[in-house]
């Protein structure tokens, strides 16, 4: 089954046409159930997007919000160096900072080096991940990127199902959704399916806005969340222009996801329980625990249309880098300045 026809030239889907803008427009709904200041969250989220767009500097952002954040978050904020202020310009967290922060999720092994990752992948053959891992940068650190070929995506949502099964996300949380765009008039109607995980932005507003550095970008391009640091303010849900962040309200499915009375999930190479994740922001991390084992993310592995690819965008010979340079490649909402490590082929 092919989604697109030759009757119409299909351009990059606009987010408004996909209906996502309406879904994430009113941040008050997302913030209303928490004690933290709703207006502050909306203002910080909007300004964090301006930082990504280049309209506001990171330093100016924190000058503007330093006092308010101090009032609102107290010691949680004061004791946390924010990478946007204190560390690298590209918001990557390094080993020293991770150590100072006592980071847990995706912590030092992942931040400092990727020897295990590279070794594991070198042993894994017959998948796109392995091919790309052979050519990492001189430190052995790939920049993980994903490419989705919209001509191949048939909208079956096996990626969504695989993601839920792999990450055991709670009710109402789906790291990977498939949006639909229908265009044309009967009988010349076409439909495009656009899967949307977290796009692992190079300039992530979700990282900029976090007042306690619970979310940060690793030097391999993956934006991660440390559940031990996250205070559940949800400001990152406002900042993300793609609606890719969720909040774990602690709801659970009944028996099907329960092991020994507790739902467990592997995230960032560590087994986590519902207690770990409840009350925190959540999102896709390209199945980092699988990458560490030399496996593809669940959505890539299960895609029946072979529409999804994962690899090292910094390796010019990798499949994903070559595809990202194709004429039909585009990023979602390029106007946002987020520069996602996620490309679509129209
Ligand atoms: Fe952050 Fe992912 Fe949203 Fe980008 S798509 S702003 S990295 S949550």
Considering only CA atoms, which residue is closest to atom 2 of ligand 1?
198
Size of the chain, expressed as the number of residues it contains: 346
Ligand 1 center to residue 6 CA distance, Å? 33
- CA nearest ligand 1 atom 4, residue: 201
Average pLDDT over residues 27-33: 77
Taking CB atoms and a 6 Å cutoff, what residues make up the pocket around ligand 1?
198-201, 204-206, 223, 240, 242, 244-245, 283, 338
Look up the pTM and report it: 0.83
Check pLDDT > 80 for residue 334. Answer: yes
Distance CA 299, CA 193 (A): 15
Which sequence spans correspond to the domains of the chain?
Answer: 15-345
d(CA 37, CA 39): 6
Q: How far is the CA of 113 from the centre of ligand 1 (A)?
A: 23
Of 231-235, 271-275, 300-304, 338-342, which gets the smallest average pLDDT? 271-275
Protein residue closest via CA to atom 6 of ligand 1: 240
DSSP-derived letter for residue 259 is B
CATH of 15-345, one of 3.30.360.10, 3.10.640.10, 3.30.70.1520, 3.30.70.20: 3.30.70.20
In testing the pocket of ligand 1, which one of 20, 204, 218, 341 has its CB within 8 Å of the most ligand atoms? 204
Expressed in angstroms and rounded, the spacing between residue 224 Cα and the centre of ligand 1 is: 10
Structure tokens at 112: 């400092």
What tens digit of pLDDT does each residue of 148-191 get? 999 999 999 999 999 999 998 888 899 999 988 887 888 888 88
Report CA-CA distances (Å) from 21 to 181, 229, 273: 14, 29, 32
Q: Contact 155/178 with Cβ under 8 angstroms?
A: yes
């Amino acid at each position: 089954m092919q989604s697109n026809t030759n009757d119409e030239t299909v351009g990059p889907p606009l987010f408004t046409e996909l209906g996502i803008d309406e879904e994430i427009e009113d941040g008050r709904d997302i913030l209303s159930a928490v004690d933290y200041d709703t207006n502050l969250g909306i203002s910080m989220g909007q300004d964090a997007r301006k930082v990504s767009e280049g309209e506001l500097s990171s330093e100016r952002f924190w000058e503007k919000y330093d006092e308010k954040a101090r009032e609102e978050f107290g010691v949680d904020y004061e004791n946390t160096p924010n990478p946007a202020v204190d560390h690298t310009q590209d918001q990557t967290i390094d080993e020293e900072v991770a150590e100072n922060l006592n980071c847990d999720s995706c912590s030092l092994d992942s931040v400092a080096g990727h020897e295990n990752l590279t070794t594991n992948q070198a042993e894994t053959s017959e998948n796109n991940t392995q091919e790309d891992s052979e050519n990492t940068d001189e430190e052995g650190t790939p920049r993980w990127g994903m490419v989705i070929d919209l001509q191949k995506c048939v909208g079956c949502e096996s990626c969504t199902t695989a993601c839920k099964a792999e990450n055991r996300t709670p009710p109402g949380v789906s790291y990977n959704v498939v949006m639909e765009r229908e265009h044309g008039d009967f009988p010349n109607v076409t439909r495009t399916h656009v899967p949307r995980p977290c796009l692992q932005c190079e300039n992530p507003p979700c990282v900029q806005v976090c007042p306690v550095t619970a979310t940060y970008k690793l030097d391999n391009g993956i934006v991660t969340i440390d559940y031990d640091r996250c205070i559940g303010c949800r400001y990152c849900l406002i900042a993300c222009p793609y609606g890719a962040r969720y909040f774990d309200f602690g709801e659970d499915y009944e028996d099907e996801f329960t092991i020994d009375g507790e739902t467990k999930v592997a995230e960032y190479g560590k087994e986590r329980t519902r207690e770990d994740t409840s009350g925190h922001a959540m999102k896709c991390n390209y199945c980092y625990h699988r990458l560490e084992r030399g496996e593809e993310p669940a959505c890539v592995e299960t895609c029946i249309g072979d529409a999804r690819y994962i690899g090292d965008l910094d390796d010019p010979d990798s499949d994903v880098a070559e595809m990202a340079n194709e004429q039909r490649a585009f990023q979602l909402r390029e106007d946002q300045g987020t520069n996602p490590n996620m490309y679509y082929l129209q």
